[in-house]
Structure 1
Amino acid sequence: MATALWSATLTTDAQGKVNATFKAPDSLTRYRVMAVAAKDADRFGSGESKFVVNKPLMVDPVVPRFAHLGDEILIKGIVHNTTPHDGNVELELTLDDNAILITEQRPFALVGVRNRITMNASRSERRPITLKAGETVAVAFPVRFVKTGTTTWKWQVRTTTWAPGAPALSDAVESKFEVNSPIPALREVQYFELTSASGSQNLLQRINPQLLESEGDLNLSFSQSRLYEARDALDQTLHYPYGCVEQTSSATLPWLALSRYEAMFPDLLQKAKANDAISKGVRRLLAMQTDSGGLSYWPGGDTPVYWGSAYGAFVLMKAKEWGVPVPQDSLDKLTDYLSKGLREFDLAASTENEKLTDAAMGLYVLAKAGKTEPAYATLLFQRREKLPETARLYLALSMCLNNAAPRQIAELVKAPAKRTPQHRYWAAPELAHPLRLLVATHLGMKAEAQAAATELLRTRTGRGDWGTTFGNAGACLP
C-alpha cells in the first residue's frame, strides 16, 4: 500500500498540537500513523497510532492483473457492509467490448450463474444481495475475453431495501487491466519508396503471409525524408527498460542527435522533455564513474569498462555541447583514463579485435575532446590491414578531427572484402555503415556516402530497427 501522507515540515502550536489533512485512499485497509518530533538540537520524540479507512457500503473488485484472449474465468466483487444495519443491495458490473459475461453453464461457475439479470448483449449484469450488519459477501461473475487491449470495467453497488431511517448508500469503482494475445504477437515493418513509377506496386506483396491471414492493426505512415526510417530504431532505443553504461548512453544519444526533428517524431522526441532526458542520462553516467576516472558497467560499480567509458565520454561531451551541465573535472578524469588505457593495450602487437576496436574508439573520443594521441593513431594506421572494419572507421573519424590527409583517411573507408567476426553481439556489425557514412560525408565522397546509407537501411531487422540499442543509436548519428 502506498504512503497516504508524508510531511516533514509540520509545526506544532503553543500546546504542542499539529493538524494535517489529506484525501483518504479508496481502499478498505488499516493505516499506521508515525510521528517524529524535533526541537533544537537535542529534543526529540516519537509516537505511533493507527486508523481504518472504509466506507459504509463498499465494493472491492477481485480481477486478474492481466488476461489472454479466449480465457474464461470467474471474477468476483467483494461487497462490504460496515454499518449496523441489515438490508438488500444490488451489485452491477458493466464490461467493455473486450469481454462478455458467460450465460451458459460452466463447471467453474456453478455459484455464479444463479439469480442473474444480464443486459446490454451480455456486457452488463445486476445481482441482488442480502447483507447483514457488518457482513462481507463475495459475488462471482463468469466472463470470457473476446478482444485484446486495455479492458475497463465499472462496478456499482447501491442499497435497495435498507433499515428504516438509515440513509441510502452507494459505491462505485473502476478496474482496468490488459488483455493480451495468448501467443507473442507477430510484428513486421516494411519501408517503401513511392515514385511515379512504383505507384501501382502492391505494397503488401513483401509482407509475411501469416500476418495478412490474422487479426491485427495495419499502420501506414508517409514522409518526404528518409530520416523517418529511423523511427522504429528510435522507439526501441528510447523505451528500452534497462540502464547499463551502453544502454544509458544509447538512450541519451538520440535526444542529442535528433531532437531538432521533433516535428518528424512528435510522439517520441518532445522538445519540452529533451533537457530533462539528457540531464537524467548525464546523472546516471556520472554515477558510474569510478576512482580511476573510467565508467563502470552499472551505477555504483568499481571496475571500469574501456569501451563503455569511451562511449559514455562521447555522450557526456555531446550533452555539454547541448548545454547540459557536465563537470569538467569528471570529463578530464574520464579522458585521462582513456589515454592511460591506450598505453596498456600493447597496440603494436595485439591481435585482439575487441581491444583494437576499443582503442580506435578511444582515439576518436579523445580527438573529439581535443586531446589527440597522434603516436597511437599513427601506430594503428600502420597496422590498418590488421584492424577490424569498425576499428578502421573509428580511426578514420579521429583522423578527420585531426585534419589528416584525405588520401590516408580514404584508405580506411573502403569496405573489406571479408568482414571480421564480431563476438560482441550487442556491438552491432551494422554500426560500420553509419560510421562509413560519416567519414564519406566529411571527405565529400558522395557515391560512397550514398552506398553506405543504402546499405545501412538494407540491414534493418523485420522490426524496422538494427537489433540492439547500440546499433540503433549509432544509426541515428548521420
Structure 2
Amino acid sequence: MTKTTQIGVGRAGITAGLPLAVQVFLPRFAVEKDRLLAVALVHNNSDQKRDCSFAWQIDASLAEMPKPAPADWKLVEQNGKLVGTGHVKVAAKSSAKVSVWLNLDRLGTARVGFSATDGKESDAEVRVLPVLPLGRPAEVNVNNELAAVPLAKPTEKIVLGKFNKDGRIQLPAGFLASELDISLAASDLAQALADLDYLVDYPHGCIEQTMSRFLPVVMIKHATQHAPIALQPDITKKLPDILAKGLTRVYGYQHADGSWGWFEKDSRNFSMSVYVVYGLARCLATGTKVDEQVLRSGCNYLLQELRTNQQDPELAARAWYALALAEKADTKELETWSRDILKRSQQAAILCNLALACRTAGLNELGEQLWSKARGWQPHETESLALFLNTQL
C-alpha cells in the first residue's frame, strides 16, 4: 500500500543453499548378496569452478569404483571401514556425480557416508541401508511352559507356587537375530482360579445363575486334581457346601415333565433345560454325585422335544451333545439327525456340537465328517472359539 492508498501485490522468491553441498542416493533396502550402485551428487552453487576431494566411508559392505575411476582414486580399509578417496571437478552453478558399487555380503545394516571439500567449503551426508537375509526365516517362534518347582515351605499359602526354567533357544543356521519379543501368560487354569472367589461368593438367583456358579467350580476342582496347582484353603472349605446347595436348587427347580425354566414355577424353557442337563452330565463325568432320576427325567424331556423337530437346529445340536455326555443319546436318532444336517447345513456351530456329540456317542467316523466340514471356521467370540477348539482336540 502506497502513501496515496494505492494497493498492489508483489511476489518474490529466495533460494538458500550451501556453496558446496552433497547428496547420497540409496534404495530403501537391499538383500543379501546384492550388488548395487550408490550415487552421490556434489553441488557447486558458487560462480567459480571447484576442484574437490571426496571420500566414501562404508562399513558392513565391500566397495569398488565404476570405470573409468575418478582422479587419484584409492580404496583402503581404516578402523574396520572401507574408505574410498579421489578428486572430482565441478563447474560453476553445476553438479557432478560420483558413484560406487556396493557388494553387500553382510546381513544387518550398511552405513554409507560421503563427504566432499575444496579446502574452503565442505559438506557430508551419511545414509543407512538395511540388508535383509536372502531365503532365510524372517521370524522364529518358540513356546514352552515353566515347570513348577516345589515350594521351599509346603505350608505356605501360595496358590501358584514358584516357577523356574533355564534353557536355550536353537535358532536356524544363518538366522539374523535383530529383535527379541517375550510374552508371558498364566495358564488357563491359573486365570480361572483368579476369578474363582467371585464365583464362590456369587448369590443364587435363577437357574442360569445357579448353573453358572457351581459348574465352573466343579470343573476347576476336577482340573486341579490333574495339575500341579492348588485351591486356596478358604475356597476348598466352601466347595462342598456350594455344590450341595447348587445341586439341591437345581433339583428343586425341575418341573414334573423333566424340564426346567428360569425359575421354580415359571414355564418350561428348552434352552435352560439343555444347559442344566449339560451341566449335570459334566458334574457326573468329573466324579461329582448327581441324582440319576433327575438327570434321566431331564434327558427324556430333551429327547421328546427333539423328536418334534420344532427346535432351533443350533440349540438342538447342543441338546444332542448334552445327551451324549449323559450317555442317554439314542445313537440311531443321533446318526439320522446328524446325517441330515451334514447334507443341508453349513453352520459351523451346529456341525461342531454334533461332531462332539457323535464322537462322545461312539459315532467317530460321522463325527470326523462333521468336523471336516466345519474345519474352516474362524470364530472370534469367546464362546464360539472355545467350541471350535474343543472340537479340534
| Pairwise TM-score range, normalised by the shorter structure | 0.3 to 0.5
Structure showing greater radius of gyration is: 2
TM-score, length basis structure 2: 0.46
